[in-house]
């Protein structure tokens, strides 16, 4: 039988002991693994109970926290407030030979529970033992660690590492620094944490941890992260996957070596196809191979290379654009056909634009611009106004744009068509 909070006393009953009040107030805090306890930690926000070091002076900022000694089953957690900054002691002088690890703690003393003769809470500094591989002092019962101070051998400069655990109200989102701190929690279904290292919310669903948010992975050979493909692994708790594939752009046609009064021009490469689809994650295997379509390569005096196909397994695919053609040197009027835009794919497919045709009449002419893609523009073509003119084709724009054709008008050397832009695969997982 217990006295519930809050009931008026009648004839002296109920009467609440300090232990009973602590036990009842544990309901308001994050579970810490004990039925009558709570997670020990500092309230998040600001500089509460943060430790700093200036010279040999250690300072602990004012703030509030919970400490759960757990010396006995019914002890209950303590709510602690330091109303002003404290200096728990000067830093012990460094050893001349070996480094040392010290700690700063927040500690509760309660004579009724620990026979310490004290009834108070305070910050304390505990110096470690110098050694070639020093260890931190053990955190005593009735305390939480606030910081570690690494003290190198003299005359090195000591460094403070913030080690404050955090506590929030029951059902709140608990900040944790990394996976190790998260995995050390007494997890239960519905526990939410904020991963400070990954900047995301995770929830435990009684079977394991899963991310509460969308998570996008970019597969590309440019930009960040710099991966040209690889393997997508299905995260735990994934519900659906939104995949976007952009095929590579085709290269522009090159231009041949010319004599005076003639020209050679290349047509633009086609833009790569684009495809997307939203996939039920339960239909996907544990891993899927991802391929990023390369941009077509340009070459002097030759047709442009085709762009490559971007793939998320066989679930979503997008073909590359075709390479632009080239017409060899000629003094009469002619044209060169642009590369076809990518059109084939799996999922919801958007065609790339065809490359622009090129033309020449004697020593005058224009190379073809590259075709645009869903995610990138084509390279701009060139024209001959004065002779001789020799210009390589401009590359396609990121991602999947076709390269422009090259031009050589009048006496000049061969020039290469512009490279097509590579494709990209974006995989967004929803939980």
pLDDT digits (tens, 9 = 90+) for 5-23: 878 888 888 888 898 899 9
Residue 195 lies in a domain: no
- Helix (H, G, I), strand (E, B), or coil: what is residue 331? coil
Whether 1 has a pLDDT exceeding 60, the answer reads: no
| Beta strand residue intervals within 198-351, DSSP E | 200-204, 209-211, 215-219, 229-233, 240-246, 263-266, 274-280, 287-291, 310-312, 316-318, 326-330, 334-336, 345-346, 348-350
Q: Would 50 be classed as within a structural domain?
A: yes
How many angstroms separate the CA atoms of 103 and 129, rounded?
A: 11
- Position 186 pLDDT exceeds 90: yes
In a domain, 351, yes or no: yes
Residue 309 lies in a domain: yes
Clarify whether residues 379 and 247 are in a common domain.
yes
| The predicted structure's pLDDT at residue 380 | 94
Within a domain: residue 171?
no
Last residue of a domain, one of 159, 179, 197: 159
State the Cα–Cα distance between residues 65 and 12, nearest whole angstrom: 32
The reported pLDDT for the residue numbered 222 is: 58
pLDDT tens by residue, 245-263: 999 999 999 999 988 888 9
**Residues of the domain holding 382:** 214-431
Q: Note whether residue 178 is domain-resident.
A: no
Within its chain, how far is the Cα of 43 from the centroid?
26
**Of 159, 184, 206, at which residue does a domain stop?**
159
> Residues 254, 303: contact at Cβ < 8 Å?
yes
Is the same domain home to 85 and 233?
Answer: no
Q: Are residues 293 and 393 in the same domain?
A: yes
The token pair that represents 165 in the structure block: 């655990």
Please report whether residue 173 resides in a domain: no
- Contacts of residue 223, Cβ cutoff 8 Å, sequence gap at least 6: 398
118 and 230 within one domain? no
Number of domains in the chain: 2
Residues 226 and 300 in one domain: yes
Q: Are residues 56 and 142 in the same domain?
A: yes
Question: Which tens digits make up the pLDDT trace of 324-358?
Answer: 999 888 888 888 999 999 999 999 999 999 999 99
Domain boundary among 126, 159, 192: 159
Categorize the per-residue pLDDT at 236 as very low, low, confident or very high, splitting at 50, 70 and 90: confident
226 pLDDT above the threshold of 50: no
121 and 244 within one domain: no
Q: Are residues 259 and 136 in the same domain?
A: no
Write out pLDDT tens, residues 283-297: 999 999 999 999 999
Number of C-beta neighbours around residue 186 at 10 A: 11
Percentage of the chain exceeding pLDDT 70: 97
Closest CA to 168 of 311, 59, 17, 66: 66
| Same domain flag for 224 and 361 | yes
pLDDT band at 37 (very low <50, low <70, confident <90, very high): very high
* 89, 219: one domain: no
Residue 69 pLDDT: 93
- Is the pLDDT reported for residue 188 higher than 70? yes
Q: Quick one: CA dihedral 175, 181, 185, 191, positive or negative?
A: positive
290 in the same domain as 357: yes
Is the peptide bond between 302 and the residue preceding it cis, with omega within 30 degrees of 0? no
pLDDT of residue 227: 55
Which of the pair, 361 or 306, is modelled with greater confidence? 306
pLDDT at 234: 87
Among the ranges given (210-224, 258-272, 351-365, 400-414), the one the predictor scored with the smallest mean pLDDT: 210-224
The answer on 155 and 218 residing in a single domain is: no
Mean pLDDT, range 101-129, rounded to an integer: 96
C-alpha 6/C-alpha 16 separation (Å) is 10
Question: Does 113 fall in a domain?
Answer: yes
Three-class SS state of 297: coil
Q: Does residue 197 come out as left (phi exceeding 0), alpha (psi in the -120 to 50 range) or beta? A: alpha
């Amino acid at each position: 039988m217990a006295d519930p909070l809050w009931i008026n006393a009648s004839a002296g009953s109920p009467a609440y002991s300090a232990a009973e009040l602590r036990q009842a107030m544990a309901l308001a805090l994050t579970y810490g693994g004990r039925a009558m306890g709570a997670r020990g930690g500092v309230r998040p926000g600001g500089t509460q109970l943060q430790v700093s070091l200036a010279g040999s002076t250690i300072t602990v900022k004012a703030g509030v926290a919970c400490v759960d000694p757990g010396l006995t089953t019914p002890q209950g957690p303590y709510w602690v407030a330091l109303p002003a900054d404290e200096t728990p002691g000067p830093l012990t002088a460094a050893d001349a030979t070996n480094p040392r690890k010290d700690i700063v703690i927040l500690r509760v003393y309660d004579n009724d529970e620990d026979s310490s003769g004290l009834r108070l809470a305070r910050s304390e500094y505990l110096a470690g033992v110098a050694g070639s591989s020093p260890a931190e002092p053990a955190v005593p019962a009735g305390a939480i660690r606030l910081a570690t101070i690494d003290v190198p051998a003299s005359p090195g400069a000591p460094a403070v590492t913030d080690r404050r655990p955090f506590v929030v109200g029951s059902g709140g989102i608990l900040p944790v620094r990394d996976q190790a701190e998260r995995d050390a929690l007494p997890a239960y279904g519905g526990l939410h944490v904020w991963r400070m290292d990954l900047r995301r919310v995770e929830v435990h669903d009684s079977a394991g941890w899963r991310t509460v948010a969308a998570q996008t992975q970019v597969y590309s050979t440019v930009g960040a992260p710099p991966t040209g493909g690889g393997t997508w692994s299905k995260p735990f708790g994934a519900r659906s996957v939104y995949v976007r594939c952009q095929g590579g752009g085709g290269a522009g046609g090159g231009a041949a070596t010319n004599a005076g009064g003639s020209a050679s021009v290349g047509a633009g490469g086609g833009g790569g196809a684009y495809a997307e689809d939203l996939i039920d994650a339960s239909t996907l295997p544990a891993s899927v191979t991802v391929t990023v379509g390369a941009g077509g390569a340009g070459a002097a005096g030759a047709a442009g290379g085709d762009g490559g196909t971007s793939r998320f397994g066989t679930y979503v695919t997008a073909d590359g654009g075709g390479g632009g053609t080239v017409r060899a040197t000629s003094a009469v009027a002619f044209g060169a056909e642009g590369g076809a835009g990518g059109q084939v794919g799996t999922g919801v497919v958007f065609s790339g634009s065809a490359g622009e045709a090129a033309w020449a009449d004697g020593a005058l002419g224009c190379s073809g611009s590259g075709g645009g893609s869903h995610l990138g523009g084509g390279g701009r073509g060139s024209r001959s106004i004065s002779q001789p003119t020799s210009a390589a084709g401009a590359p396609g724009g990121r991602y999947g744009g076709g390269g422009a054709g090259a031009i050589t008008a009048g006496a000049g050397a061969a020039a290469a068509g512009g490279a097509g832009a590579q494709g990209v695969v974006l995989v967004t997982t929803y939980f």
